[in-house]
Chain A
Amino acid sequence: MYVAVKGGERAIDAAHEWLAHERRGDRAVPELSVAQIREQMSLAVNRVMAEGSLYDPDLAALAIKQARGDLIEAVFLLRAYRTTLPRIGTSRPVDTGTMRCDRRVSATFKDAPGGQVLGPTFDYTHRLLDFKLAAEGEVPQPPSGTPDTTPKPHITGFLGRDDLIQDEPASDEVPPDLTREPLEFPAGRALRLQALTRGDEGFVLGMAYSTQRGYGRNHAFVGELRIGTVEVEMEIPELGFDICIGEVVLTECETVNQFKGSKVEPPQFTRGYGLVFGQTERKAISMALVDRALRAEELGEENTGAPAQDEEFVLAHSDNIQATGFLEHIKLPHYVDFQSEMELVRRMRREAAAQGDVVAGQKEAAE
């Protein structure tokens, strides 16, 4: 009896052993390599890097393997590892305007300088299971062409030229760092964007969807969605100038939203912004919608009490590592608390029963 919850040391070791065995699965089936996961499960790898706040496809693939494909568990592994890494310095802000785009679409203009590039998207696939993939066999090599090097300036830049869209002036202010400072409210937009980009995809998607269905509605057009590679530059003090230290793949989404204008400002479009590691389109669009919804107060819009307009609500609940940890901790023993509740309920029931006897007695006496 008593042993079930106590004497945990042996139980823990045995559980770990079993887990490792289950992770491996049927040994007649060849083991997955980290490289296979990195190359063939790349969207899972991207999600884990984005929510793990660490750009390293190899480590993310390893985490997915270790987590048996549980992506939140993989994010957790990456985050815990991230804690131990020293911070060497801060890069320059990346210039997404110079992105080498694999994909770039705009829903607001039929065509724009740089063109529309569909890229490797599921969008127009028919969602029919492809049984050829179940059979062994290689897909044919795609025809090779010259890489598209036409510059692709930001679409919102064209609207900005005519003052049709609200300007977002650049700033040299050092942004706050969510991973080094405790989150305090009001958070401000820079901190909100940090929280959203590492927030749980499902949560951010749900919040964004709720704005589309009327909870803090602010109709969004996808002004531009671009996915591609940007260079990360850093100033090396010994050199005294910036050098490129590597490349990252990013997804950026800018939405164009209505704004009625106010007494002091003429009507103008406003923006929502999403920027996420890797090819993570759903997340970047969701982030842009939620970012815009959270700007309600700043833009003087009516606060309808919608969850997506509520900074405290969104930011305090968007992190899946915090959420899953706290949710799952209720599996831990709580028998001390439960015992105290049980004792209280028993006592209150006793008192209620005694009271009941008294009331019944009085009733009898009255009859």
Chain B
Amino acid sequence: MSVQTAMDEAQVDQAQADRASTDQAGTGRHDPAYNFAYLDEQTKRMIRRALLKALAIPGYQVPFASREMPMPYGWGTGGVQVTAACLEPDDVLKVIDQGADDTTNAVSIRKFFQRTAGVAVTEATGEASLIQTRHRIPETPLTEGQILVYQVPIPEPLRFLEPRETETRKMHALEEYGLMHVKLYEDIAHNGAISTAYAYPVKVEGRYVMDPSPIPKFDNPRLESPAIQLFGAGREQRIYALPPYCRVESLDFEDHPFEASKADHDCDLCGCGDSYLDEVIVDDEGGRMFVCSDTDFCATRRALGHAGRLSGEALA
């Protein structure tokens, strides 16, 4: 059981209310130069159709006519288009990158939707109706009714085994995943372990092999979720999805079972022992500290009085 679920719910609510300064109510107004959430309604409809197809065939990559967005390809244009197609004026949006709400690209995308959709934003995972993420699944368990949108760089899990799209589409159609198993086997033969630490491939509902985007494999078990999970790859023009409670298995072998691993430390700020950690170099003598990559999770715990090894020290 995670630490979060062990917390008293009311206490959590209080802690999040204490941190509510990061929330901003929706203005209800969007930049009048553009349609609500930037994209025109025809484009949104095209994306929604792709999303419905993706939800109907979990793990299958649906081609869609990705548009040029005002941020560069590779910086979340797929996720941004999916978010734009899903957003409604009453939504509460959270945007994270590397688990953090205040990384530069997360700030940039959040501002984009504040400007073009006028929606409310939050940093609290529990408060958000739609979360756009890059590289992490929030630590706080998601609930029914929430949507998690992933930014995907390379949607094709077989891409680095076979560069040709014409070939990989055939392999998916024929459920021909031998090449992937050979790769994992060779990893074990060479290194004694599967040497994939992030973007660890999964099999969805026993059918399609899927790239979960570059989340650390620590996050893989949480791909089975009550929330709707949507994956958008703008440059590669693909959308795929995991409907709620969909079966998601990380590929492994009976004698080399999948293992969700993380740095063998506790968070130096909140003391959490089972959250995913960032390693931070603190001096030029090899000094390091470890902190939760999920900033909302860590701050909420600290507001509840949890403390880690360095939480008393002034952090320059």
Contacts and interface: CB of A to CB of B under 8 A. Distances in A.
A7 to B, nearest CB: 5
Contact of A326 (B74, B104, B107): B74
B156 to A, nearest CB: 12
Nearest to A316: B165
Contacts of B263: 339, 343
Interface in A158-211: 179-186
A329 B75 contact: yes
A11 B99 CA distance: 19
A312 B106 CA distance: 33
Contact of B98 (A11, A328, A336): A336
A184 B66 CA distance: 13
A141 interface: no
Contacts of B291: 2
A341 B197 contact: yes
Interface string B258-275: 000111000000000000
A12 B107 CA distance: 9
Nearest to B215: A336
Interface in B104-151: 104-108, 134-136
A335 B104 CA distance: 13
B255 to A, nearest CB: 16
Contacts of B106: 8
A312 B103 contact: no
A86 interface: yes
A9 B107 contact: yes
Given A322-B235, A336-B216, A343-B263, A348 B69 contact: no
A327 B69 contact: no
Contacts of B97: 332-333
A132 interface: no
Contacts of A179: 65
B75 to A, nearest CB: 5
B104 A11 contact: yes
Contacts of B32: none
Interface stretch (B13-21, B187-195, B222-230, B245-253): B187-195
A11 B276 CA distance: 26
Contact of A7 (B63, B98, B102): B102
A182 B63 contact: yes
A1 interface: yes
Nearest to A326: B74
B64 A5 contact: no
B282 interface: yes
Contacts of B279: 335, 339, 342
Given A9-B107, A332-B75, A344 B135 contact: no
Nearest to B217: A340
A79 interface: yes
B182 interface: no
Contacts of B315: 1-2
A337 interface: yes
B103 A86 contact: no
Interface string B300-311: 000000000000
B197 to A, nearest CB: 4
